[in-house]
A and B are shown apart, each in its own frame.
Chain A
Amino acid sequence: MQFKTDSSPFVGSVSHLGGVMRQVLYALIPAIIVMSYFYGWGILINIILAMIIAVSFEAVSLWLRQRPIKAFLSDYSAIVTAVLFALTLPPLVPWWILMVGLFFAIVIAKHLYGGLGYNPFNPAMVGFAVLIVSFPLEMSQWLHPRWEEGNLPNLWESLQIVFKGTHELYSQDQWDSMTMATPLDDMKTELRSHYFSEIIITDSYGWVSGRAWEWVSIAYLCGGLWLLYQKIIPWRIPVALLSALTCIALIVNLWEPDQHQTSLFYLFSGATMLGAFFIATDPVSAATTPRGQLIYGACIGFFIYIIRTWGNYPDAVAFSVLIMNMSVPMIDYFTQPRVLGAKREKS
Chain B
Amino acid sequence: MSLLTKSSFWTFHGGVHPECHKAMSTQRAIQTLPLPKQLIIPVQQHIGSPAELLVTVGDTVFKGQPIATMASQQLGATIHAPSSGTIEAIKKHNIPHPSALDGLCVVLRLDGDDDWGDYQPIAYADLDQYTNKQLLARIETAGLVGLGGAAFPSFVKLKNSSKKGIETLIINAAECEPYISCDDMLMRERADEIVKGLQVLLRLLQPTRCLIGIEDNKPEAIVAIKKATTPFDNVAVCAIPTLYPSGGEKQLIKILTNKEVPDGGIPFDIGMLCHNIATVYSLYNAVIKGEPLLSRVVTVTGDGVKQPQNIETLIGTPVSDLIKQAGGYTEKAQRLIMGGPMMGFTLPHDAIPVVKASNCFLIASVSALQQTKSPHALQAQMPCIRCGKCMVACPVNLLPQQLYWHTQAKDFEKVVAHHLSSCIECGCCDFVCPSHIPLVSYFRFAKSELRSQQLTLEKANISRERHEFQEFRRQREKEERAEKRLKHKAALQRKKASAKGKNPKADAIKAAMVRANAKKVARAAEAKANSVIKKNPQDEAKGES
Q: Contact residues of A with B, CB < 8 Å? A: 1-20, 68, 71-72, 75, 77, 115-118, 234, 283-284, 286, 288-290, 332-333, 336-343
Closest 9 CB pairs of A and B: A117-B383, A9-B427, A12-B377, A5-B346, A341-B263, A16-B376, A15-B434, A10-B369, A3-B336
Asked if A289 meets B344 with Cβ closer than 8 Å, knowing A9-B431, A19-B434, A117-B384, the reply is: no
CA distance in complex: A4, B345 (Å): 11
Picked from A12, A20, A339, the residue with its CB within 8 Å of the CB of B422 is A339
- With contacts A12-B374, A116-B385 known, is A340 near B342, CB below 8 A? no
**Given A71-B380, A289-B391 in contact, is the A3-B341 Cβ separation under 8 Å?**
no
Interface stretch, picked from B438-446, B465-473, B476-484, is B438-446
Report whether A283 and B388 are in contact in the complex, using a CB–CB cutoff of 8 Å. Answer: yes
Q: B residues within 8 A CB of A1?
A: 320, 329, 333, 336, 349-350
By secondary structure, the B interface counts as loop
B369 and A11: CB pair below 8 A? yes
13 A-B contacts (beta carbon < 8 Å): A3-B336, A4-B334, A7-B440, A9-B430, A10-B335, A10-B337, A13-B377, A20-B385, A117-B435, A283-B387, A340-B395, A341-B265, A343-B262
Are B374's CB and A13's CB within 8 A?
A: yes
A317 to B346, CA, bound (A): 51
Give every chain B residue within 8 A of A118 (Cβ-Cβ): 383
Tell me whether chain A's interface is mostly helix, strand or loop, or mixed.
Answer: loop
Contact among A8, A13, A16, A341 with B440 in the assembled complex (CB-CB below 8 Å) = A8
A115 to B507, CA, bound (A): 91
Starting from the known contacts A3-B335, A11-B427, A341-B250, 17 additional A-B residue pairs (CB-CB under 8 Å) come to: A1-B329, A11-B342, A11-B370, A12-B378, A12-B431, A13-B377, A14-B371, A15-B432, A15-B434, A71-B382, A72-B382, A116-B385, A288-B391, A288-B399, A289-B399, A332-B399, A340-B12
- Which of chain A's residues have a CB closer than 8 A to the CB of B263? 339-343
Q: Which residues of B contact A6 (CB under 8 A)?
A: 335, 346
Cα A138 to Cα B371 with chains together (Å): 51
Cβ of B165 within 8 Å of any chain A Cβ, yes or no, is: no
Output the nearest chain B residue to A75 by Cβ-Cβ distance.
B382
CA distance A286 to B401 in the complex (A): 13
CB-CB under 8 A from A72, the residues of chain B are 382
Bound-state CA distance A13–B335 (Å) is 19
Flag if A12 contacts B371 (CB, 8 Å).
yes
Which of A2, A8, A12, A332 is B402 in contact with, Cβ under 8 Å? A332
Chain A residue contacts of B387, Cβ below 8 A? 20, 283
Per the bound structure, the CA–CA distance linking A257 and B254 in Å amounts to 52
A337-B376 contact given A3-B334, A15-B432, CB 8 Å threshold: no
For the complex formed, measure the closest distance between the CB of A25 and the CB atoms of chain B, giving whole angstroms.
15
A-side contacts of B385, CB under 8 Å: 17, 20, 77, 116-117, 283-284
Q: CB-CB < 8 A to B379: which residues of A?
A: 16
B159 contacts the other chain (Cβ, under 8 Å)?
no
Q: Which residues on B sit within 8 Å (CB–CB) of A12?
A: 370-371, 374, 377-378, 430-431, 436
Shortest Cβ distance from B383 into chain A, in angstroms?
3
Are A336 and B440 in contact, with the CB atoms below 8 A?
A: no
Asked if A337 meets B397 with Cβ closer than 8 Å, knowing A288-B402, A289-B391, the reply is yes
Give the tally of cross-chain contacts (CB within 8 A): 184
How does the 8 Å CB contact mask read for B319-362 relative to A, with 1 for contact and 0 for none?
Answer: 01000000001000111110101111111111000000000000
Residues on the A chain within 8 Å of B350, using CB: 1, 3
Among residues of A, the one whose C-beta sits closest to the C-beta of B264 is: A341
Q: Which residues of A contact B347 (CB under 8 A)?
A: 3, 5
- A114–chain B nearest beta-carbon distance, Å: 8
Residues of A within 8 A of B320 (CB): 1
Residue of A nearest to B435 (CB): A17
CB distance from B425 to the nearest CB of A (A): 8
Question: Are B374 and A14 in contact, with the CB atoms below 8 A?
Answer: yes
Residues of A within 8 A of B386 (CB): 117, 283-284, 286, 288
Q: A11-B369, A75-B382 are in contact. Are A17 and B427 (CB under 8 A)?
A: no
Q: Are B342 and A3 in contact (CB under 8 A)?
A: no
Any A CB within 8 A of the CB of B18: yes
* A150 to B478 Cα, complex, angstroms: 103
Give Cα A243 to B430, complex, Å: 34
Name B367-413 residues within 8 Å CB distance of A: 369-371, 373-374, 376-380, 382-389, 391, 395-399, 401-402
- Give min CB distance, A292 to chain B, whole Å: 10
**From A4, A9, A13, A337, contact of B341 by CB (8 A):** A9
> Please, how many angstroms separate the alpha-carbon atoms of A12 and B433 in the complex?
8
B317 to chain A, nearest CB (A): 16
How far, in Å, is A232 (CB) from chain B's closest CB?
8
B260 within 8 Å of A by Cβ?
yes
Contact assessment for B371 and A8 in the assembled complex, using a CB-CB cutoff below 8 Å: no
Say which residue of B348, B369, B399 sits within 8 Å of A2 (CB atoms): B348
**Does the CB pair A13–B431 fall under 8 Å?**
yes
Whole-angstrom distance between the alpha carbons of A5 and B350 in the complex? 12
CA distance A346 to B337 in the complex (A): 40
Cβ–Cβ contact B396 & A340, under 8 A? yes
In the assembled complex, which residues on chain A have CB atoms less than 8 Å from the CB atom of B382?
17, 71-72, 75, 116-117
Task: Assess whether A340 is in contact with B13, with CB atoms less than 8 Å apart.
Answer: yes
Contact B384 A4 (CB under 8 A): no
Inter-chain contact B346/A4, CB cutoff 8 Å: yes
Q: Which residues of A contact B395 (CB under 8 A)?
A: 340
* Docked-complex contact B260 and A340, CB < 8 angstroms: yes
Q: B438, A13: Cβ atoms under 8 Å?
A: no
Nearest-neighbor residue (CB-CB) of A236 within chain B: B388
CB-defined contacts of B251 to chain A, threshold 8 Å? 340
Known: A5-B347, A11-B342, A17-B382. A340 touches B434 (CB 8 A): no
Query: Which positions 1-59 of chain B face chain A at CB distance < 8 Å?
Result: 12-13, 18-19
A8 and B342 form a contact (CB under 8 A) = yes
Any A CB within 8 A of the CB of B228 = no
Residue B100 CB within 8 A of the other chain? yes
Q: Does B419 contact A (CB under 8 A)?
A: yes
Cβ-defined partner of A11 (8 Å) among B13, B341, B345, B389: B341
B261 within 8 A of A: yes
Asked whether A339 lies within 8 Å of B419 as measured between CB atoms, the reply is yes
CB of A288 within 8 A of CB of B401, answer yes
Residues of A close to B306: CB separation below 8 A: none
Q: Is B209 in contact with chain A by the CB < 8 A criterion?
A: no
